[in-house]
Chains A and B, each alone.
Chain A
Amino acid sequence: MISEATILRVQDEVRQIVAAVEEITGLPSRWSGRLNVVSSQEADLQANRPFSAKKEWNCHISIVDVLVNKDERWRSLIHEALHSVSVGHQEQDYRQFRGWEEGVVEWLQRRYRPDILNRLGLSIPEETFARAEATWLFNPAIEALQRIAAQLPMASELAFFETLLKTPLKDRLAFVQAWGMREAQDPKQFMRVLAASSGVLRR
């Protein structure tokens, strides 16, 4: 059983992370201000859907109890805070463009994390997070997005991912397609890379 004090402590951590994410991205968060801690006990797990952390569609953030006292929680909380600012992250678009959301949010989580932890006065070895990230389910989506970004050398990889975060989820594919046709050094090669990546990004 998780104590009320623990819930309030993690809720305050989310509040600080969300503030940092809003400042870094310039995007407003839709987080409701509420944090739910979900039980992993056998009976509760039967009744609930399993997940480590989740930004609910009602904009609460939920986290499983096994994570709340672990350093690994920081990557999950930053990831969920980024979902809360991601433009057009709506349930009707999520299932069609899952890779375009998860890949963008997770790449930025990894990029922003050292800065965010520093702002919070925390020093946590990167190895703490690297093991969980090495086999993360959406790594192929990140790699696909990086292959597309490489076709747009005039924009840095960071600018590419930040631009996507600020583009409505359902428009990201069309936006990138137009961007590539306009600015890629080799538009035909760009279209080949985009076509090859689109299957992974819809998973």
Chain B
Amino acid sequence: MDREFQYEFPPEIEPERAALRAVIEKALEENTLPAIQAAQKQLRAWLQKHPEDLVMWDAGEPLALTEDALRADESSPAFARSA
């Protein structure tokens, strides 16, 4: 648990990391629950393999906050009226 964080990754896995970042950015842009949850699933899988990737741990914060906000919207009376 106390291993050092890593900020640079070997060239053979950097494309996978860049692709995950693109998925996260697209999910935030799309701003929908399915997109956010799909990004979280991929992020979870990445962090299981790379728990030393602090930048990706950081990327989880806006996803989680946005998921909460979208869930709150879904359960609000205004959403129920417009759905």
Stretch at the interface among A13-21, A43-51, A188-196: A43-51
Determine if A92 and B51 form an interchain contact, defined as CB atoms under 8 angstroms apart: no
* Residues of A contacting B: mostly: mixed
- Cβ contact within 8 Å between A51 and B63: yes
The residue in chain A whose Cβ has the minimal distance to the Cβ of B4 is: A70
B48 contacts across to A, CB distance below 8 A? 42, 45
B47 on interface, CB distance cutoff 8 Å: yes
Interface residues of A (CB under 8 A from B): 40, 42, 45-46, 49-54, 57, 64-67, 69-70, 72, 76, 91-92, 94-95, 98, 102, 131-132, 134-138, 203
Known contacts A67-B57, A95-B31, A132-B7, then 7 further A-B pairs from the complex at CB < 8 Å, ordered by chain A residue: A49-B40, A49-B64, A52-B54, A52-B57, A66-B1, A69-B1, A92-B73
Residues from chain A with a CB closer than 8 A to the CB of B47 are: 40, 45, 50
Is the pair A51, B54 in contact by a Cβ cutoff of 8 Å?
A: no
* Chain B residues with CB below 8 A from A51, complex form: 57-58, 60-61, 63-64
Interchain nearest-CB distance for A98 vs B (Å): 6
- Give per-residue flags for B33-67: 1 if the beta carbon is below 8 A from chain A beta carbons, else 0: 00000001001100110011011111111111111
B contact residues around A54 at 8 Å (CB): 61, 64-65
Q: Are the C-beta atoms of B28 and A203 separated by less than 8 Å?
A: yes
Contact in complex: A136, B68 (CB < 8 Å): no
Give every chain B residue within 8 A of A92 (Cβ-Cβ). 69, 72-73, 76
Tell me the minimal C-beta distance from B64 to chain A in angstroms. Answer: 4
Residue of A nearest to B26 (CB): A203
The reply to whether B62 and A138 form a contact with Cβ atoms under 8 Å apart is yes
| Docked-complex contact A95 and B70, CB < 8 angstroms | yes
Contacts of A72 in B (CB 8 A): 5, 54
Complexed CA–CA distance, A49 and B31 (Å): 17
Partner of A136, one of B43, B44, B58: B58
Determine if B61 and A53 form an interchain contact, defined as CB atoms under 8 angstroms apart.
Answer: yes
**Contacts A/B (CB < 8 Å), 5 sampled:** A45-B48, A50-B64, A65-B1, A102-B62, A132-B7
| Residue of B1, B28, B55 most packed against chain A (CB within 10 A) | B1
If A45-B47, A50-B47 touch, whether A137 touches B62 (CB-CB below 8 Å) is yes
Task: Indicate if the CB atoms of A46 and B72 lie closer than 8 Å.
Answer: no
Which chain A positions have C-beta within 8 A of B1? 40, 65-66, 69
Asked, given contacts A137-B25, A203-B25, whether A95 binds B66 with beta carbons under 8 Å apart, the answer is: yes
B29 in contact with A203 (CB, 8 Å)? yes
